[in-house]
Structure formats: structure tokens, C-alpha cells
Structure 1
Amino acid sequence: MEKTDILTGHDLTAWGHDPGPQFPALLERANTLLEKGGTPETIRAELASAIPPKPEQFALLPKGSIPFHENITPADEDEEVNLAKVREAMLAVMQTPTVIGGAIMPDACPAGPVGTIPVGGVVAAHNAIHPGMHSADICCSLMMSDLGDADPKTVLDAAASVTHFGPGGRPQGQRFTVSLDLLDAFRDNPFLNSKKTVQLAQEQMGTQGDGNHFLFVGVSRQTGRTVMVTHHGSRGPGAKLYKAGMEVAERFRRRHSPQALKQNAWIPADSEEGQAYWEALQLIRKWTKTNHHSIHQATTEAAGATSRERFWNEHNFVFKRGDVYLHGKGATPAWSGFAPDADPHGRTLIPLNMAEPVLVVRGRDSADSWGFSPHGAGRNWSRTEHMRRLGTTTPTEALAAETKGLDVRFHSGKVDASELPSSYKPAAAVEAQIEAFDLAEIVDRIDPYGCIMAGEMPRFFRKRKSRD
């Protein structure tokens, strides 16, 4: 055998060592053994103990092997096309190695490339948290305040003076206070401790963002009292957590399941990272609830009203039942005690569109929905397609025709046609399917007086948001 003069990194790689910071020390050790008369064979055997065990591999599940329940009935061709796309997405999601089941709600619609959990989707997983399955708008949620006999217009005017829609946060001097304990908890969590995340938590308290987020004022059919409802998520802090979570999940996916789709990467729940991420989710949930509460309280005070009761629920989140992690993307938990601060009467909120009532429901904990109900009306087509279908009708004309008699305001001053009632599935059909699939009991309807939404945002803001 020809004598080897020196061993290189190529030799180590050929022997099964992965390149990395340990290579220089290994090479020095290998060549020291070589100088002492060792052969490549004996040196390879001696260094074998330094090769770490191969990471456990998780193969994709066979397509169709994990079922998901369809709690949806298409009524026309548009809904058939929409459902076909949702099915295609869920079939791919169900191949993720951690998944043990799933469901789709009456408001289901696609939310990205094939294999992305759809809006109105529920995915149950074992020992895994999938950041992509709660999406960047973590803890998108609703809060309701009963304001008694307050005048609805007075409340809406007060809300307009208080709330903040659109890009960024509140300017210095107009910010809402954030608990120092909460900010300290952010700083103690590895997923939330960046300077930018803490800064956003301070700046964006009391803000609602854009898109389908709203502030709604109406009247309860059951009590005749004025009610305010807000809808928004965790804004910048949640987006930062999502990004950090996806980075960790992607590192795990590359090591353990490279065939899994990137959007379905996961963090093992029992790992150190998984426990830290779970805690971060709870902190973001606390921040978001405080955000809702701050807007409600400031509006109540500005309107000279009194809040009789207030409750809330999220619909973009991860919940734990036993050892199962339930991911709801635009799906509302519908079982009693889904969170320690859930409404003691088991009520949650389901909005439909700006011209229809907000439903107050009590969940049925249906097995076929993994205990969830829908979060709204959903869409049968994209925002772009809706604009095309309006044809020559202007957004202002469509708004006047579709919301006659209502006080609808857009913070930007420009109508967002993609949020008009006609862009959503028919409210009556969604209500009927909630009842037909026994997803929830409708206990009250909050009939609309009016609402505030962000409105059409400048293009630079939409581009910036897509990069967050």
C-alpha cells in the first residue's frame, strides 16, 4: 500500500465526518497518528467514535393515509373550485410526518402554495409545533365589550379618535403603556428578546394593522345593548416571533425531514426550543389580549360609557389537548375551557362581513372538527379576482350599494374593495353550515351599526408587510 503523506478534509468527509468547526482538531489528531506510524485504516477506526449519530429521519406519510374531515358543503361552481383547491392543500399537509388528523371549516379557502394549511384549516400534530400552521398573524383574535345603552354613533366616533390602523405604530407621546413585566418576559425569552421585537411591542400597542382587521359597533338582538367588537392579531411582535420560529423549524426540517414542505416545518414540542417557543406563544397571546383591551378601554372612556362585560377568543393559534397540539388557521376553538381566560359561559365570536351580524356562539366540541368552529365567512376567490368581478363598478359605488344605512369608515380615506361583503362567502350559507355540521350553537347576533377598517393602503406598505 502506498504511504500516505498527509490526511485532508476530503479523507475525513469520505470516512463519514461532516464538515464543521471540529475539522481542524480532527485533522491534527489524524495526522499526529499518521506521523506515529498509523495507517489510514487504523486512524479511520480510531476516529470513528467522533462521528455523531445520524439524526433521526422522518419520512413523508403516504398521501391519503391521514384523513381530514370536511365540514363544508359547496353550493355552486365557485365553491366547488374553491373546495377542490382546499382539498389539494390539505392532502399535502396531511403528509407531514407529525400530523395525526385535520379538518376544514365552512369558511375554508386556500392560503398559499399547495401544501400550505388553508384558512379555515385545523391540523392535529403529535409532539410538534408548526409555526407555519398558525401563520405570521399569530393570535388573530376578537374581543367584545357590552357597552349598555351607549349611543352607537358616539361609540364609533370615540373609537375613531382612539384606534390606529395602517402601517407602523403610535408616535412618541401617543403610545399606550405596556407592562414592564411583560416587556421583561419578552427579554427573557430567546424567541422574543431582540431589540426590534421589544421596540415593536411598545410602539404597536393600541394598533390594529390592515387587511380584514376591524372595529365594529352594533346592537345585540338578545339584550338591545350596544356592543363593540375588535378584530386583529399580534402585529409586528407576532410577525417577528413567526419569523424566528420558522428559522428554528427549518433547521430541524433540513436535518430530520428534508422531504417535508418548508411551510410545514416543525419544532419538537418536548425540545428546549419547543418549550421556549410555546412560552413565547403565550406571551404573544398576552400582548395581543392587552392590545384589544387597551383599545376597548380607551374607547369606552372616550365615549363616556361603561363596559358591562368583555370577553375574547383567538382563531390563529396553537392549542394543547392532552398530548396533541391543535393548530387552528382561521379556526375558532369551540370547546369549554380552551384557555384559562376563556369566557366562562363558553361563548366565542364569529364575524361574517361588515353588513352582517357578528355571531355570538357556544361551541359544540365536535369530533369531526377536532373541537373547532369557523372564524368567519371566508372567500371563494382571491382579492384580485373580486376586483375583476366588480367590473366597471367603483369601490365607492359598491360600498354604497352593499352597506346601505351603515356607517362604514376607512382609516386611510380610501375604500378597500377587497373587504366589501361581496368578496366573502354568503353569510346565510356559512350560518347554515355551522348548524348543519353541529359546530356551534348561535346564541346571539350583534347587528351592525357601522365599522372602521384600514382601507386601501399605500403600495409601499403592502410591499413592506410582505417582507416581514
Structure 2
Amino acid sequence: MENYTHITGDTLIRLGFRPGKWFKEAIEYINANQLNEEEMRIYLAPYEPKPIIPLNTEGVPFAVNIRAEDEVETSNMESVIASMKEIVKTPTVVGGAIMPDACPTGPIGTIPVGGVVVTKNAIHPGMHSADICCSVLLTDFGKADPKAVLDAAHAVTHFGPGGRDRNTQFRFPSELLEAFEQNEYLKDPQMIQTARAHLGTQGDGNHFLFVGISKQTGNTMMITHHGSRGVGARLFDKGMKIAERFRKEISPDTLKQNAWIPFDTEEGEIYWDALQVLRSWTKANHEVIHDAAAEKLGIAVENRFWNEHNFVFRKGDLFYHAKGATPLDEAFMPDITGPRLIPLNMSEPVLIVEGETTASNLGFAPHGAGRNLSRTQHRKSKGEQTIESVFEEETEGLDVRFFSNEIDITELPSAYKNASAVRNQMEEFGLGTVIDEVMPYGCIMAGDWEKNAPWKVKRRQKQATKMK
């Protein structure tokens, strides 16, 4: 039996170990204690490299629930399909689907908006993205005046970057605080501070507050759309770092954006629990805004239902990653009893839907209308038209407000896919049945808050000074 009188990193590499931070401590211990081969093997057992998991080069089948309507959509769809073909080579993937609102985001191999990816015993943070639990909540305000509801909501909501100051923060529920403090990935003070400040905020981008009238009942309904804000982004960053550590160790050929956390590890269980806490926080984030509007109006709400469309759903050892896809299957949301919500654009109704799981929809429907053009491309498509003329043309008859008081034309109806086409394809591919529609009265969005961001104002002032 050999005694290793002096080992180096090369010795460990020759024995089949992959370099790591633990090398230094192990080398010092083995040399100091003059371990023989058997003793060294026992000592090194916890560091035995896990077998490399290769890519599934053939990929697995995925359902294509989308049909291109024109050349732009054809290019869009081809990019989405190309990305999915790379994603389904990931070793954990067992299925997938794309929805009619699908559009590419990020490099090839990144889950598209409107994509569903099913994996076995694995959570992929990159497949739920930084906007964890982006979701929609509807409150039925009965026969309340829609303008009064929109005015009340405008007075209590918060759009734009950052959170609320201490004077306008909502009470942080004690049970949520306890849940944060009990989770390893959520308990740090900065995470909790962000959760406090961002409660009751809606962010920017395509997030909105919509007021409309039920086609079926004539009641006024308010719908909010946003996710877990800064606290979700922080958890996402942690999740991606954990997944990357596993990727380097067990599947280095997997694309970085598709790295995963094995569920049957301590890290996987903690991360899954953190996602559930974020889900509860996000629902509360919607509810405090709706409750504050109702309180300001002095009326009782008649009904309320909610669903996320950017999350990871679980069935046994299968994890369904939905990047902008509405869950229809009751198994995904056992605590939800109402129908689901699919917003289209500010000039179109919000659809209230139900549906059954099929082999092609995997238990999901679209989450909206999606985009064919990037924001920059959409701006260019308007040519010489002024922002004001585009706004007037596309919002005629609606009470559309931007919280920053700056119009964002990349959130107007023409920025999105044709709503009728999305609805037709929902029917064509069996992606849910519309049981009611909330006809638009008006909405609030963040608007182009960056136009007058402090750093831009400062830059403009500096440029003006130089020109004098």
C-alpha cells in the first residue's frame, strides 16, 4: 500500500479529481498526516467527482402551438423554434411547448417568452427568469364607476424603479416576514428590506393596472400585472449562481442560461421553498394595492382571483417552467379555485378563461399577445409620427395614463401581436376557453420614466452647458 509522502494538485488530478477550492486544504492535510493510499481515498471520498451528464444531442419533442401570420411573425417563430431546439438538448428536459404569443429573448437556447419547458427533478432559474412569479390579480368592484376605481388606484399604486419610502410603505405581514427569516436564501437583511420597500409596487415595462367592465355581468373590474420586483431579482441572482456551480460540476456542456439546481439536494429544496415564499409575497403585493383602492372608495369587493404566468410548477418529480404561459391545469395551482386571466393589450379585453390539459398544451395557455418587434424596432416603425399622435391614434376612447407622465409608445397596442390572431390560435390549438371578457375602460403603466431619470437630466444639463 503506497504512502503519499508529498502530494500536489497534479497528484489529485491524476487520481481523477477535478480542481477546486478544496484542493489546498486537502493537500495540506494529506501531507501533514502522511496518509497512505487507503487512508487518502477515505479522506477524499466526499470530493469524488460526480459523473458528467452529457447533452441529449437529439433533443426531445416539443409542441408548437403557434402559426405565423406574416413575414415578421415567420422570422419571430423561426427564432423561437431554434431556441427550443437547443433547450430540449439539456439533459434534464423531458418535454416542452410554445404558445401563440411566443417571442425570442436572449441568445439562441434561451427559453422564449411564451415557452414551457418540462424537466425531471431539476429547477432551472434561467427558465423562470428574474421576474419570478409575474402574475395577474382581478378584483370585482361591482357597479362602481370605472373612472372612480381608476382614480383611486392611481392614488395608491406605485410604478417605476425602486420602492416606497418609509412613510408610504404597506405593513409587511408577520407570517411573510417569518417565512423570509426561515429560508436560507431569503433571510439576509437586504433581501427583507427590499421585500418591505417593494410591497405594493408594480415596476415598469409591460406591467399595468387595468380597469374595465365585465361583458357578462357589467361589473367594474380592476386587474394588476406585475411580479416579485427587486426581491425576486435578488433570488434569481442567487439561484443562477447556485445552478452555475452545479453546471460546472455535472454538466459543463449545458448552456449557462439553462443551468439547473437538482431538486434532490439541500440547495434544491431550499430554492423550491424560497420560490413558494416569493409566490406568497407577490400575491400580497397585488392584494395590498387592490385593498387600498377599495378602502379609498369605501366599498367592499365582490370577487377576486389570481394566477401567475412566470413560474415553476410541479407535478411529482416533473417541474414545468413557464416563461410567460398561463397555467390551466389545477394540479399546478391547488390553492386557486377561479378561472385564469389572459391580458392582450390596453385597447383589448382581458380574457377570463378555463381549459383542460392536453398532450400539446401541457396544461398551459398563452399569457398575453406577445411581441413581434423589439422596442427599438417598434419605435423606428413609427417613422416621422410624433409620440403624441401615435398615442392619440391608439388610445382613442380610453383613459390611458402613464405614472411618470411620459408616454411610452412601446407599450401601445401596435407594439404587440394582433390580439385577434392570438385568440384564434388559442381556439385552433386548444389553449383554453374564454368564459368572460373585461372590456377596457382605461389603464395605468409606468411610462418612459427613464426620459427624466436623474442621470439623463444631469447629462442633458452638462451638454447644454458645453454648448453655451
Global fold match (TM > 0.5): yes
Structure-2 change in CA distance of 1:158 and 1:262 (3 Å):
same
**1:121 Cα deviation after fit:** 0.1
Q: In the alignment, does 2:349 pair up with 1:354?
A: no
Deviation per residue, 1:288-336 (Å, 9 max, x gap): 0001010001011212332100000000001112321101000000123
- Are 2:315 and 2:331, in contact at CA under 8 Å, matched by a contact in 1? no
The corresponding residue for 2:448 is 456
- Are 1:336 and 1:363, in contact at CA under 8 Å, matched by a contact in 2? no
Q: In the alignment, does 2:167 pair up with 1:179?
A: no
The corresponding residue for 1:416 is 408
For 1:208 and 1:439, locate their aligned partners in 2 and report how far apart those are by CA, in whole Å.
Answer: 28
For 1:218 and 1:167, locate their aligned partners in 2 and report how far apart those are by CA, in whole Å.
Answer: 26
The corresponding residue for 1:395 is 387
Partner letter of residue 61 of structure 2? P
For 1:372 and 1:5, locate their aligned partners in 2 and report how far apart those are by CA, in whole Å.
Answer: 62
Deviation per residue, 1:192-220 (Å, 9 max, x gap): 11211100110111100000000000001
Deviation per residue, 1:1-27 (Å, 9 max, x gap): xxx996544444444454544545644
- From 46, 54, 59, give the equivalent of 2:54: 59
Structure-2 change in CA distance of 1:400 and 1:19 (3 Å):
closer
Q: In the alignment, does 2:329 pair up with 1:335?
A: yes
- From 122, 135, 154, give the equivalent of 1:141: 135
- From 111, 130, 136, give the equivalent of 2:124: 130
For 1:193 and 1:128, locate their aligned partners in 2 and report how far apart those are by CA, in whole Å.
Answer: 23
- Are 1:167 and 1:461, in contact at CA under 8 Å, matched by a contact in 2? no
Structure-2 change in CA distance of 1:455 and 1:419 (3 Å):
same
The corresponding residue for 1:40 is none
For 1:126 and 1:16, locate their aligned partners in 2 and report how far apart those are by CA, in whole Å.
Answer: 28
- From 233, 236, 239, give the equivalent of 2:230: 236
Q: In the alignment, does 2:224 pair up with 1:219?
A: no
Deviation per residue, 1:55-101 (Å, 9 max, x gap): 122111114x3011010111110110000000011001111100000
**1:272 Cα deviation after fit:** 1.1
**1:367 Cα deviation after fit:** 1.9
- From 206, 213, 224, give the equivalent of 2:200: 206
- Are 1:15 and 1:44, in contact at CA under 8 Å, matched by a contact in 2? no
- In structure 1, the residue corresponding to 2:245 is in which secondary structure? helix
**1:44 Cα deviation after fit:** 5.4
The corresponding residue for 1:39 is none
**1:388 Cα deviation after fit:** 0.8
- Are 1:191 and 1:244, in contact at CA under 8 Å, matched by a contact in 2? yes
Structure-2 change in CA distance of 1:98 and 1:13 (3 Å):
closer
- In structure 2, the residue corresponding to 1:113 is in which secondary structure? coil
Structure 1 stretch displaced more, 385-394 or 7-16: 7-16
The corresponding residue for 1:89 is 83
Q: In the alignment, does 2:188 pair up with 1:194?
A: yes
- Are 1:215 and 1:229, in contact at CA under 8 Å, matched by a contact in 2? yes
Q: In the alignment, does 2:399 pair up with 1:407?
A: yes
Partner letter of residue 394 of structure 1? T
- In structure 2, the residue corresponding to 1:458 is in which secondary structure? helix
Structure 1 stretch displaced more, 45-54 or 119-128: 45-54
The corresponding residue for 2:309 is 315
**1:49 Cα deviation after fit:** 4.0
Aligned residues: 450
For 2:213 and 2:244, locate their aligned partners in 1 and report how far apart those are by CA, in whole Å.
Answer: 46
Partner letter of residue 449 of structure 1? Y
Partner letter of residue 221 of structure 2? V
For 2:113 and 2:449, locate their aligned partners in 1 and report how far apart those are by CA, in whole Å.
Answer: 22
Structure-2 change in CA distance of 1:54 and 1:306 (3 Å):
same
Provide the identity percentage.
Answer: 52
Deviation per residue, 1:314-363 (Å, 9 max, x gap): 00001112321101000000123532321x24x10000000000001112
Partner letter of residue 328 of structure 2? A
For 1:350 and 1:304, locate their aligned partners in 2 and report how far apart those are by CA, in whole Å.
Answer: 28
- Are 1:160 and 1:452, in contact at CA under 8 Å, matched by a contact in 2? yes
- Are 2:65 and 2:361, in contact at CA under 8 Å, matched by a contact in 1? yes
Q: How does 1:253-264 map to 2 (within 5 A)?
A: 253-264=247-258
Structure-2 change in CA distance of 1:33 and 1:286 (3 Å):
closer
For 1:434 and 1:30, locate their aligned partners in 2 and report how far apart those are by CA, in whole Å.
Answer: 67
**1:157 Cα deviation after fit:** 0.6
- Are 2:354 and 2:435, in contact at CA under 8 Å, matched by a contact in 1? yes
**1:271 Cα deviation after fit:** 1.2
- In structure 2, the residue corresponding to 1:315 is in which secondary structure? strand
**1:399 Cα deviation after fit:** 1.2
Q: How does 1:21-40 map to 2 (within 5 A)?
A: 21=22, 23-24=24-25, 26-27=27-28, 29-30=30-31, 33=34
Partner letter of residue 129 of structure 1? I
Structure-2 change in CA distance of 1:403 and 1:93 (3 Å):
same
**1:190 Cα deviation after fit:** 1.1
The corresponding residue for 1:38 is none
The corresponding residue for 2:261 is 267
The corresponding residue for 1:47 is 40
**1:269 Cα deviation after fit:** 1.1
Q: How does 1:61-80 map to 2 (within 5 A)?
A: 61-63=56-58, 65-80=59-74
- Are 1:158 and 1:302, in contact at CA under 8 Å, matched by a contact in 2? yes
For 2:335 and 2:13, locate their aligned partners in 1 and report how far apart those are by CA, in whole Å.
Answer: 54
Structure 1 stretch displaced more, 230-239 or 317-326: 317-326
- Are 1:8 and 1:27, in contact at CA under 8 Å, matched by a contact in 2? no
